[in-house]
Amino acid sequence: LGQVARAQGDDDEALTLFDNALERFRKIDASAEMIQALNNIADIALERGEDHVARRCCAEALHTAKRAHIVPFALDTLARLAQLEHDQLPQQALFLSSFVIGHPSSSPDAQARCVQLRQTLIADLPLDQVAVAEERARTATFDSVLNEALH
């Protein structure tokens, strides 16, 4: 229902629905559904410029994904985290987006988010920083990226 409210342009109602769903999913420990609700809340927060809310949602989603070993949903969250890092830590954003793009378990949505972000970052960053970020992404393991994002 939250997605329907978003599609109709009612982000306030969508946020209420996602929050209610999140509470229900927490009570029954439905990890995948919790992550999806947190990512949906993070999307609204990103659009509203509420970075602190988006970061909080991403952190909880990543902790949940790590605990439940849900790689594709963790990659979806890392894509959102890359968007958050764009302005303050562009090299980190490029690293995260390149990692998500290169991971075989990333969803089409995560891929699309990261491809667009990566193109912007490559145009803005010096070539040496691009090379470093992309080399890090090629050699990083999923666990190392997840642990770095959580700290």
Note the pTM of the prediction, 2 decimals: 0.92
One digit per residue, pLDDT tens: the chain, 151 residues?
A: 788 888 888 889 999 999 999 999 999 999 999 999 999 999 999 999 999 999 999 999 999 999 999 999 999 999 999 999 999 999 999 999 999 999 999 999 999 999 999 999 999 999 999 999 999 999 999 999 999 999 8
- Token code pair at residue 135: 């080399």
For the chain, the 3-state helix, strand and coil shares in percent, each to the nearest 5, are 85, 0, 15
